[in-house]
Structure 1
Amino acid sequence: MKRAPHVIPYQGSKRKLAQDILSYMDFEISTLYEPFVGSGAITLAAAANEKADRFVVADKLEPLAELWKLIIHEPDALVKEYSRLWNEQLSDPAVYFKKVRADFNSTKSPSDLLYLVARCVKNAVRFNRNGEFNQGPDNRRLGLKPEKLKKEVDSMSQLLKGRIEIVGCDFREAIAKADSNDLVYMDPPWQGTSGKRDPRYAHLLVLDELIEALDALNARNVPFMLSFDGTCGDRAYGAELPDFLQLKRVGLHAGRSSQATLLGRNDVTIESLYLSPALLAKTKIKSLEKRNPHLEFLGKAFI
């Protein structure tokens, strides 16, 4: 698989799982939609490996969508602003991070967001109840150097310019025009296990709205893939999706849990990838079953 550019270092990115996920894109795809785009690991890997003709990406966090627009359409301006931020921090990185964080919460500057994501602890974006960025800096590092960022930004711009649409909106609006010739890949916020608000996300997902949207995609015969829940050791994350969606669940090996490693355990994370009926009708399912014999079926259509 060809390497894809990597600009936005989001924790939870599907970058390590991209090869497994792309293996299901073994049919002609007109437009690939990624309505919870984040760092866009799947869109970038798909573009680098010529899996689709065009791309539509969206995120409800509008500064993130604006950051994508800068990367694609104004790469030089973004690199210049990031370089200014990166160099200005050098006298006192911790204090400067807090200044940029306050600026971002006031102005929602996309270049400020890129700096914060690059510098924050474990690249783990966190928001408070008011939707303000509240993660602290990782004082062991300064973030990606400007010259390295420029290389990745230029590569990403060249890869997608002229064949991508970027919008800041709700996921349902972003996929409204998808049809049977397209593919929708969704990596929405996980539900977690506590039922409490998850600070990783500025905008939370209503499960019933997701299920309704998946049902609508099925009704339009739109192929889709959904990364949604999983397990870590003996702990399961997320509620089960209903049988009537007729989805096929594949367990993807995401590696050893970093938290478990700190606790001296060997827990392995398995992330679930759900395949829609329309996708199963197009992909080479028999060969995939041979490659991964531990497929679990949901619904009666494919038992």
Structure 2
Amino acid sequence: MKGSIPHIVQYQGSKRKLAPQILSYFPQRFNRLIEPFAGMAAVSIATAKEHRCPRFFINDLNEPLLGILREAVNNPDKIVSDYTAIWEEQFRYEAGSEAHYYHIRERFNNGEKDPSMMLYILARCVKGAVRYGSNGRFNQSPDKRRNGTNPQTLRRNIAGVSQLLRGKSEFYAMDYREVLDMAAPGDVVYLDPPYQGVCTGRDSRYYSGIAFNEFVEALDKLNSRNVDYIVSYDGFCGDKSYGEILPDDLGLKLSYLNAGLSTQSLFNGERVETKEALYVSRNLAKSGMVLQPSLPLF
């Protein structure tokens, strides 16, 4: 993949760095890419960059997050202009930029769901990590070391994303099972659900967790309808594994992607590699693709 993959803003859990590895499992050409758990749509962006398919169905149950994507693709100048006004305001805010962040976050939590507001919060918060409390309010703190993405940098980022996806994409904020019902043979579905290793029952990124048994049933339905799909789901870090492996009777090919060194391990003075599990549906696995070798869980 020549050149870097454009992205809107830092987002914890983004597959931007892993996208080249993930795309090595995709067909060279297919009808439509469907992302039920899009996040910042890194895989859709990477797929568009390689001209693998002409259409994209981008979904995320987090409507404010989905709104950033929709506006960045369809109205890039407006969202950058609105973001710039909020970003510049922090330097004039009498109580300081940190207090300004909490002021914007409070407005957002009180119902002002403007995409530029969510974009500023995401660009300014710790690790670009979306987190909600049990009351449904965004509760992530600001990163005190920085003031968020510079508007000029953001403009370049968004322009690159918009150029790739504009006129080719549909945006929705629905339950993933509704999205899967819309998939058809000839599509590829890429699923990156909340990992079992980081949530139980309720997930702070999505307001509600993804039940393992329901997820397995949804994949089985895709099999019965002859829809191709690829799933990023858990893995291991050093000798510690996360989550339950998807059942063998789904007929999936399991491989592991090198996600690099664990950030937490580096903080602890260690160098521990993280591997992320990637499951490929049976038709894709039988299509003659060269799959990367699997690694056993410890």
TM-score (norm 2): 0.93
AA of the residue aligned to 1:229 = D
Shift of 1:4: 2.4
SS in 1 for 2:189: strand
User: What CA deviation, in whole Å up to 9, does each residue of 1:41-82 have, x standing for no partner?
Assistant: 100000011111110000111112222221111111101110
Shift of 1:197: 4.3
Distance (whole Å) between structure 2 residues aligned to residue 200 and residue 293 of structure 1: 32
SS in 2 for 1:250: strand
Distance (whole Å) between structure 1 residues aligned to residue 240 and residue 160 of structure 2: 39
SS in 1 for 2:196: coil
AA of the residue aligned to 1:280 = A
Query: Which residue of structure 1 aligns with residue 10 of structure 2?
Result: 9
Matches within 5 A, 1:59-208: 59-91=60-92, 92-107=96-111, 108-192=113-197, 195=200, 197-208=202-213
AA of the residue aligned to 1:83 = T
Query: Which residue of structure 2 aligns with residue 57 of structure 1?
Result: 58
Which runs of 5 or more structure 1 residues have no equivalent in the other structure?
298-303
Distance (whole Å) between structure 2 residues aligned to residue 70 and residue 83 of structure 1: 15
Distance (whole Å) between structure 2 residues aligned to residue 130 and residue 168 of structure 1: 20
Q: Does the C-alpha gap of structure 1 residues 240 and 40 become closer, same or farther in structure 2, counting only changes over 3 Å?
A: same
AA of the residue aligned to 2:294 = H
Residues 1:240 and 2:256 are matched in the alignment: no
How many percent of aligned residue pairs carry the same amino acid? 43
For structure 1, which segment, 213-222 or 257-266, has the greater mean C-alpha deviation from structure 2 after superposition?
Answer: 257-266
Shift of 1:193: 6.3
Q: Does the C-alpha gap of structure 1 residues 184 and 166 become closer, same or farther in structure 2, counting only changes over 3 Å?
A: same
AA of the residue aligned to 1:72 = V
AA of the residue aligned to 2:63 = E
Distance (whole Å) between structure 2 residues aligned to residue 120 and residue 245 of structure 1: 39
AA of the residue aligned to 2:74 = H
Query: Which residue of structure 1 aligns with residue 293 of structure 2?
Result: 293
Shift of 1:183: 0.2
User: What CA deviation, in whole Å up to 9, does each residue of 1:64-106 have, x standing for no partner?
Assistant: 2222221111111101110011000114110000011111112
Alignment RMSD: 1.7
Stretches (4+) displaced over 6 A: none
SS in 2 for 1:192: helix
TM-score (norm 1): 0.92
Distance (whole Å) between structure 2 residues aligned to residue 193 and residue 142 of structure 1: 27
Shift of 1:175: 2.5
Q: Does the C-alpha gap of structure 1 residues 60 and 118 become closer, same or farther in structure 2, counting only changes over 3 Å?
A: same
2:255–2:293 CA contact under 8 A, matched in 1:
no
Which runs of 5 or more structure 2 residues have no equivalent in the other structure?
none
Distance (whole Å) between structure 2 residues aligned to residue 222 and residue 260 of structure 1: 38
AA of the residue aligned to 1:46 = T
Q: Does the C-alpha gap of structure 1 residues 135 and 278 become closer, same or farther in structure 2, counting only changes over 3 Å?
A: same
Shift of 1:173: 1.3
Residues 1:273 and 2:274 are matched in the alignment: no
Distance (whole Å) between structure 1 residues aligned to residue 141 and residue 47 of structure 2: 33
1:119–1:137 CA contact under 8 A, matched in 2:
yes
Query: Which residue of structure 1 aligns with residue 33 of structure 2?
Result: 32
Q: Does the C-alpha gap of structure 1 residues 201 and 112 become closer, same or farther in structure 2, counting only changes over 3 Å?
A: same
Residues 1:253 and 2:272 are matched in the alignment: no
AA of the residue aligned to 2:293 = P
Q: Does the C-alpha gap of structure 1 residues 36 and 196 become closer, same or farther in structure 2, counting only changes over 3 Å?
A: closer
1:249–1:296 CA contact under 8 A, matched in 2:
no
AA of the residue aligned to 1:294 = S
Shift of 1:246: 1.1
1:57–1:174 CA contact under 8 A, matched in 2:
no
Query: Which residue of structure 2 aligns with residue 221 of structure 1?
Result: 226
Query: Which residue of structure 2 aligns with residue 300 of structure 1?
Result: none
AA of the residue aligned to 2:66 = A
User: What CA deviation, in whole Å up to 9, does each residue of 1:225-245 have, x standing for no partner?
Assistant: 000111011111111212211
